[in-house]
Amino acid sequence: MSQRSSYHIRCDMEGVSGVVSMEQVTPGSPTYAETREWFMAELLALVEGLRSGGADRISIYDEHWSGRNVDIARIPRGVAVFCGKPPYRPEWAGGLDASFSGMILHGLHSMAGSGELLAHTYEWDIRELHLNGLLVGEIGMETAIAGDWGVPLAMVVADSAGADEARALRPGVVTVATKMSQSPDGAECRPLPDVLEEIRASAERLAQDGPTTEPLRISEPVALECRLWPGKYTDALRSVIPAAFVDSERVVLHGRTATDVWSQYWQHKLEASRRIL
């Protein structure tokens, strides 16, 4: 059994079993409650597998929408859950730090521009993200942030396109494909019991054997280039950080690490969102 047995889980919902539309994962929609049940079933299978394999510490950060999707009444004792999407800071990466043996991404999807199922990068206003020239989506950005702390991407639970993206970024990473992407709004979906069994077994093996990948290290200093779609958000962001715009649709931020530049962007995004309201 690996001597390092603590895992940090980042959660999204678009990559969960059976999800083929944004309506299903939008809080308040008629179908959200059902989707949340599928999401919780997968998350609990993941936690059960890790614990069966010997993981002695698990934390969860809820990344989806406003970060209020995890039903904490069903989370086992001793598991920490970060709700409400507290913003990352240069010195705090959403509860992830160097003490963890691996990061797990649950419910993820492929990046904007892939043409695959529900593909996007964080918000629909973002067209592309580059870290020192490396094109990344949510999988890549979170992996780079984990790498700042010496933590490898250990496992990804996603649709097939998200799983492929993760393996291309970090060959050898453990992946579970919840469904097979067939179009931007269609997929071949697997029975939920089959997905849960694979998640549980894969997580158990991971906790027993430890991660097989190395952390993704982005060389310092780091430049984040964010290419945006034109619209109200881009106009609002330009009013917040006009000097960071290198043209009408591209923002470039500089910092020491991926965590640093992404936390900068996040704070600017929050201010831009307030100005729209």
Sheet holding 80-82, edge to edge: 80-82, 57-62, 6-11, 102-108, 153-158, 174-177
Q: Please report which confidence band the pLDDT of residue 3 belongs to, taking 50, 70 and 90 as the band edges.
A: low
E-strand stretches of the chain = 6-11, 57-62, 80-82, 102-108, 126-131, 134-136, 153-158, 174-177, 179-183, 186-189, 222-228, 250-255
Residues 6+ apart with CB under 8 A from 245: 238, 251
In a domain, 218, yes or no: no
Side chain identity, residue 276: I
Say if CB 158 and CB 89 are below 8 A apart: no
Q: Is the peptide bond before 171 cis (omega within 30 degrees of 0)?
A: no
Q: Strand 57-62 relative to strand 6-11: parallel, antiparallel, unpaired?
A: parallel
pLDDT at 1 over 50: no
Structure tokens at 142: 């979170």
pLDDT at 66 over 50: yes
In a domain, 275, yes or no: no
In a domain, 262, yes or no: no
Q: In the chain, what percentage of residues exceed pLDDT 70? A: 99
Distance between CA atoms of 185 and 269, rounded to whole angstroms? 27
Q: How many domains does the chain have?
A: 1
Q: Please report which confidence band the pLDDT of residue 147 belongs to, taking 50, 70 and 90 as the band edges.
A: very high
In a domain, 47, yes or no: yes
Q: In the chain, what percentage of residues exceed pLDDT 90? A: 98
Distance between CA atoms of 105 and 175, rounded to whole angstroms? 9
In a domain, 161, yes or no: yes
Q: What is the mean pLDDT of the chain?
A: 97
Distance between CA atoms of 187 and 184, rounded to whole angstroms? 8
pLDDT tens for residues 186-243?
A: 999 999 999 999 999 999 999 999 999 999 999 999 999 999 999 999 999 999 999 9
pLDDT tens for residues 153-190?
A: 999 999 999 999 999 999 999 999 999 999 999 999 99
Q: Please report which confidence band the pLDDT of residue 2 belongs to, taking 50, 70 and 90 as the band edges.
A: very low
Q: How far is CA 162 from CA 13, 86, 87, 266, 272, in A?
A: 12, 25, 24, 23, 29
pLDDT in the model for residue 277? 84
This prediction has a pTM of: 0.97
Say if CB 138 and CB 12 are below 8 A apart: yes
pLDDT tens for residues 92-109?
A: 999 999 999 999 999 999
Side chain identity, residue 104: I
Q: Strand 186-189 relative to strand 179-183: parallel, antiparallel, unpaired?
A: antiparallel
Query: DSSP state, 204?
Result: H
- Residue 97 sits in a domain whose CATH number is 3.40.50.10780
In a domain, 236, yes or no: no
In a domain, 217, yes or no: no
In a domain, 107, yes or no: yes
What's the domain range around 86?
6-122+150-209
pLDDT at 48 over 80: yes
Cβ density class 154-177: b for 16+ within 10 Å, e for less: bbbbbbbbbbbbbeebbeebbbbb
